């Protein structure tokens, strides 16, 4: 096995964007609107809400804006009873035209661009430098949804969903953040402490959005900041996070929270790209690849890097496929952090065995066939089958076994477990890239599965599930069509009756 060094990979962290979402500060700035339709009136109301100095060129439709002229607004409205001219756009911050005639629209766009002014023509996306999204208004908290003009109704439906998810009380919390920010900034705190304060603020706002962010709430949060200041020693922390088997939707909320607060993410080759998409954009991503029987970073190098970054005050996320506590070498990394005095926490993840079982639609335990579940590794430190596996336990017909990283050693595993007494007809399934869109599997018996691994692609995380609880998932295999006589007898039901008499629930 060759080694490699941890590396920060070059390249993009953000996938392609159809448009760049921006939020314009328009208070007191000159904005031009041409048109007098109902849509133009709505655009005028929207622009006035930002505090803009809005000039509307309405031609003979100026009366359409009388309602707005009579209503107090954050901005200033001037309505001109004539059509626009090129000179009207010379000082504009934005120009919006609700213009049906294509030639006039082209002229408006040309004049705006000549003046260096971003322009929008309502319902004509080919003319637009920017677009208006569907808004969720909890100002100063604002959410904008855009489909780049492809599906406005979909955007509106998504807005309705977000409206239902964001309580109206968040408006007060967003305003409180604006009001309290100067007091936080005046303390000249290091970045990790400032971010820690605002993370506490955000958690409180989302836990109790209806609560009034009053002086009591303020004092509580600032007291926590005082504590952070008094205890801060300049060190960061390490969080070992389970990325799950691949599907980003299987991440826990706590895992997403850790990814979104990380300064540095040390991740393995096996972590799916969709998981990294959920991370904080500014976080540095470093590949510390560990692949079975392939080029891998030395564990000592990973430990040293993780500790060194934390000693610099960084919040380090060590992102591992599956669950970090199941064949993820979490124990060695915890020991390294403890030895250096670095705070370390674990965020469990969905293990590959659980993800594979869910994809297969089977339970890993079964009252008739499998009352015990065992996880074993298919290779040790030297890359070969471990010498100290309990073959008697692995040959238990009433257990389900998950074998991790067994691609190179499954044939030897098969020979040893059959020699220990396991029936060769025991169902076994190899699953490659469990829960991912390109998941692939082979169903067989443990006797024949090693020779069928060649049917799977060469690369990707693989594990093998073995046991009679898998019968329904493996039933399509030809090799299993003659195994009914080989299946072990169901576990005796009288055991459950005894448990019920004792007042306990059966397993």
Please name the residue that has the structure tokens 């661009």.
Answer: 113
Q: What is the 3-state secondary structure (H, E, C) of 113-164?
A: HHCCCCEEECCCHHHCCCCCCEEEEECCEEEEECCCCCCHHHHHHHHHHHHH
User: For residue 245, how many C-alpha atoms fall within 13 Å in the half-sphere facing its CB?
Assistant: 23
Closest among 206, 138, 124 to 178, alpha carbons compared: 138
Please say whether the dihedral angle defined by the alpha carbons of residues 27, 184, 199 and 203, taken in this order, is positive or negative: negative
Name the strand (E) or helix (H) holding 204: helix 191-207
> Which residues on adjacent β-strands are paired with residue 375?
402
> Which residues on adjacent β-strands are paired with residue 315?
237
E strands along 259-355, which residues? 264-267, 284-287, 296-297, 315-320, 343-347
Question: Angle at the Cα of 341 (from 338 to 342), degrees rounded to 5?
Answer: 80
> Which residues on adjacent β-strands are paired with residue 373?
400
> Which residues on adjacent β-strands are paired with residue 54?
31, 77
> Which residues are tagged catalytic?
268, 290
Backbone dihedral angles phi then psi of residue 280, each to the nearest 5 degrees: -55, 130
CA 57/CA 97 separation, integer angstroms: 9
The terminus-to-terminus CA distance of the chain in angstroms comes to 43
């Amino acid at each position: 096995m060759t080694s490699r060094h941890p590396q920060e990979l070059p390249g993009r962290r953000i996938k392609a964007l159809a448009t760049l979402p921006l939020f314009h500060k328009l208070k007191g700035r000159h904005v031009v609107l041409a048109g007098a339709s109902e849509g133009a009136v709505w655009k005028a109301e929207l622009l006035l809400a930002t505090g803009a100095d809005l000039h509307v060129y309405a031609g003979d439709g100026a009366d359409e804006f009388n309602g707005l002229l009579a209503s107090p607004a954050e901005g200033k409205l001037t309505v001109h009873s004539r059509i626009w001219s090129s000179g009207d756009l010379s000082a504009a911050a934005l120009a919006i035209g609700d213009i049906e005639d294509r030639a006039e629209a082209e002229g408006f766009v040309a004049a705006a661009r000549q003046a260096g002014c971003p322009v929008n023509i309502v319902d004509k996306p080919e003319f637009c430098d920017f677009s208006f999204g569907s808004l969720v208004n909890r100002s100063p908290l604002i959410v904008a949804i855009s489909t780049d003009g492809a599906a406005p109704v979909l955007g509106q439906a998504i807005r309705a969903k977000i409206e239902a998810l964001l309580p109206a009380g968040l408006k007060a919390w967003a305003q409180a953040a604006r009001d309290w920010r100067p007091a936080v900034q005046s303390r000249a705190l290091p970045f990790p402490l400032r971010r820690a304060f605002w993370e506490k603020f955000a958690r409180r706002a989302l836990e109790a959005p209806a609560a009034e962010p009053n002086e009591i709430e303020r004092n509580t949060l600032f007291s926590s900041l005082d504590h952070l200041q008094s205890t801060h020693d300049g060190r960061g922390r390490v969080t070992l996070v389970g990325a799950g088997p691949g599907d980003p939707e299987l991440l826990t909320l706590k895992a997403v929270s850790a990814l979104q607060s990380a300064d540095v993410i040390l991740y393995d080759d096996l972590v799916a790209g969709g998981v990294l998409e959920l991370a904080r954009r500014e976080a540095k991503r470093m590949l510390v690849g560990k692949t079975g029987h392939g080029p891998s970073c030395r564990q000592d190098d990973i430990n040293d890097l993780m500790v060194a970054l934390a000693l610099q005050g960084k919040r380090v996320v060590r992102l591992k496929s599956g669950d970090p506590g199941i064949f993820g070498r979490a124990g060695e990394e915890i020991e390294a952090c403890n030895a250096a005095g670095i705070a370390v926490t674990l965020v469990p993840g969905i293990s590959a065995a659980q993800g594979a079982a869910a994809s297969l639609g089977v339970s890993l335990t079964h009252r008739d066939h499998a009352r015990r579940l065992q996880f074993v590794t298919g290779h040790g430190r030297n890359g070969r089958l471990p010498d100290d596996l309990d073959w008697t336990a692995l040959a238990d017909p009433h257990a389900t076994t998950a074998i991790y990283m067994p691609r190179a050693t499954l044939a030897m595993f098969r020979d040893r477990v059959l020699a220990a007494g396991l029936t060769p007809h025991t169902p076994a399934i190899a699953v490659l890239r469990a829960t991912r869109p390109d998941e692939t599997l082979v169903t067989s018996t443990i006797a024949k599965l090693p020779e069928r691994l060649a049917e799977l692609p060469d690369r990707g995380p693989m594990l093998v599930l073995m046991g009679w609880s898998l019968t329904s998932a493996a039933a399509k295999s030809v090799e299993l069509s003659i195994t009914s006589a080989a299946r072990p007898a169901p576990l005796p039901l009288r055991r459950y009756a005894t448990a019920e008499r004792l007042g306990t629930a059966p397993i």
